[in-house]
Amino acid sequence: MYGLTLYILFPGRSSFSTQYPNVQFAWSYKTNYLNAICSIFHQEGSIAEVVSGFEYEKARSLGIPGHKIIFNGPHKSDGELQRAFSENAVVNIDSFQELYRAENVAKSMGKTATIGIRLNMDTGTYPRWYKFGFDLERNQAFEAVARISKSKWLSLSGLHAHIGTFMLDPKAYAIQVRKMIEFMTRIESLLDCTIDTLDIGGGFPSKNRLKGSYMPPEIAVPKVEEFADTICSTLLENLPSGRRPKLYLETGRHLIDEAGYLITSLIAEKQLPYNRTAYFLDSGITNLYTGNWYDFSIRPGETTDGIPEITTLYGPLCMNIDVVAESISLPPMSVGSPLVIWPVGAYNVTQWMQFITYRPAVVLITEEGTMELIRRREKLSDITTPEEIPEHLLPNEHEGSSHA
Ligand SMILES: *Cc1c(COP(=O)(O)O)cnc(C)c1O
């Protein structure tokens, strides 16, 4: 079972809005797109940030109008672009091919589409994400804007960049913001455009522990206020006075990771060689995708007596790599004991997979401490409904009756 606590969501929101007058958060759907979770963020004032046609539909189905959706990502079909343009979504173009397609789509609609472009740039963070957007230093971004400014069907109003994830150095954002403002000034003076929005993406870390990290997260992870101070002061120092474009923040992980707990129980115990105890849990790596990068905190769900010892934790899957923790210090526990794995609120309930076993239920724990089911445990029909059995493979009734 997953538990998601409805604790103070939006840690750090006021750190931005008290320092810069024009801030809008956009909830990154792929971080956790359970309907209840998106609805909490929308209720708190976030618009939606989506990276696919599927996520766009999800936001619309939750009642979010197109103009409150930021549509990012390298893959937007013509049909999806058309819908986004007709509903006035904020569309950030990722490549020249997408730019040409967007122009054709707008032309076919007889409408000038307002767009943004995504930039990639050197912010001193490596590896650099060349995959997304137009390269700023190699002038691709300028060429893209030049192309847009010549088009009757496209109008540029925003610049976007999402420079990385789990960023530990606020200075990278200072470089990003400075470069975006320099670029804005350059294109506005040389080409026909006015930039209304600067979207700096997401990337703030959570208090998760990166594998191989020596320092605990409390020391390694800067407070969100440090990011806010750096970003807002760079904006105020570099923007012309009186010019305050809307700042979009697409913060995902930072806002939800620590709200999520995976509650699992011990199903079996085994002795490994070298006096090592292994416990089997009822939930494994298919529900803990971010375990590829993090060493989670794993604690007994009940207070237990006994001397902690080094233990191995296996998941329930019939797969040797299903190891939840290779080596962890835990007090002795018995079958049925609960264990709590944290923080797992970001990127797990979107990247989990149905493999071998059903995915667990997700409950929301409210401020009053009550539990609300927001995704029930899966059942067979959830998995088999999209399937078809060709006629010739259907059980043969005749054969069935001959056995009767
Ligand atoms: C994934 C993503 C985000 C959210 O990133 P976090 O690191 O979780 O804050 C924001 N913007 C874009 C374009 C993304 O792809």
Report the pLDDT value the prediction gives residue 4, as an integer from 0 to 100: 64
Kindly state if the Cβ of 72 falls inside 6 Å of ligand 1: yes
Q: Answer yes or no: is pLDDT of 8 > 50.
A: no
165 Cα–ligand 1 center, Å = 7
Cβ of 30 below 6 Å from ligand 1: yes
Going 133 to 90 to 193 to 186, the CA torsion angle's sign is negative
- Atom of ligand 1 at shortest distance to CA of 166? 7
Element (H, E) at 372: strand 371-375
User: DSSP strand E in 216-282: where?
Assistant: 246-249, 260-272, 276-281
**In this model, does residue 332 exceed pLDDT 60?**
yes
How long, in residues, is the chain?
404
pLDDT at 3: 64
Ligand 1 proximity of 205 Cβ (cutoff 6 Å): no
Distance (Å, whole) CA 348 – CA 253: 11
- Does the CB atom of residue 345 touch ligand 1 within 6 A? no
Q: Is 49 in the pocket of ligand 1 (CB under 6 A)?
A: yes
67: pLDDT strictly greater than 90: yes
Asked whether 360 lines ligand 1 (CB < 6 A), one says: no
Cα of 250 to ligand 1 centre, how many Å? 6
- Among the residue ranges 6-10, 223-227, 329-333, the one predicted with the least confidence is 6-10
Six-digit token pair at 14? 């006021």
Residue 301, Cα to own-chain centre: how many angstroms?
27
Nearest ligand 1 atom to the CA of 251 is 9
**Judging by beta carbons within 10 Å of its beta carbon (0-12, 13-18, 19+), is residue 396 exposed, middle or buried?**
exposed
Q: Which tens digit of pLDDT belongs to each residue from 262-319? A: 999 999 999 999 899 999 999 999 999 999 999 999 999 998 889 999 999 999 999 9
Q: Among the atoms of ligand 1, which is closest to the Cα of residue 31? A: 8
Report the mean per-residue pLDDT for the chain.
Answer: 94
| Binding site membership of 160 for ligand 1 (Cβ less than 6 Å) | no
Distance from residue 25's CA to the centre of ligand 1 (Å): 12
Is 74 exposed, middle or buried, given 0-12, 13-18 or 19+ CB atoms closer than 10 A?
middle
Q: Of ligand 1's atoms, which has the minimum distance to the CA of residue 254?
A: 9
- Whether ligand 1 lies within 6 angstroms of the CB of 206 is answered as no
Average pLDDT over residues 349-374: 92
Domains and CATH numbers, the chain: 12-257 (3.20.20.10), 258-384 (2.40.37.10)
The model carries a pTM of 0.95
* Residue 132 Cα to ligand 1 middle (Å): 12
Q: Which atom of ligand 1 is nearest to the CA of 167?
A: 7
Is the pLDDT score of 199 beyond 90? yes
Both tokens assigned to 197:
């929005």
401: pLDDT strictly greater than 70:
no
Per-residue pLDDT tens digits for 109-125: 999 999 999 999 999 99
In DSSP terms, 27 is beta-bridged to 48
Query: Is residue 200 lining ligand 1, measured as CB closer than 6 Å?
Result: no
* Nearest-angstrom CA–CA distance, 351 and 163: 21
Q: How far apart are CA 194 and CA 157, in angstroms?
A: 6
Q: How far is the CA of 53 from the centre of ligand 1 (A)?
A: 16
Residue among 90, 159, 162 whose CB has most ligand 1 atoms within 8 A, to mutate: 162
Q: What is the pLDDT of residues 73-106, one digit of tens each?
A: 999 999 999 999 999 999 999 999 999 999 999 9
Cα–Cα distances in Å, from 109 out to 150, 154, 256? 18, 12, 39
Q: Is the pLDDT of residue 5 over 60?
A: yes
Calculate mean pLDDT across residues 349-375: 93
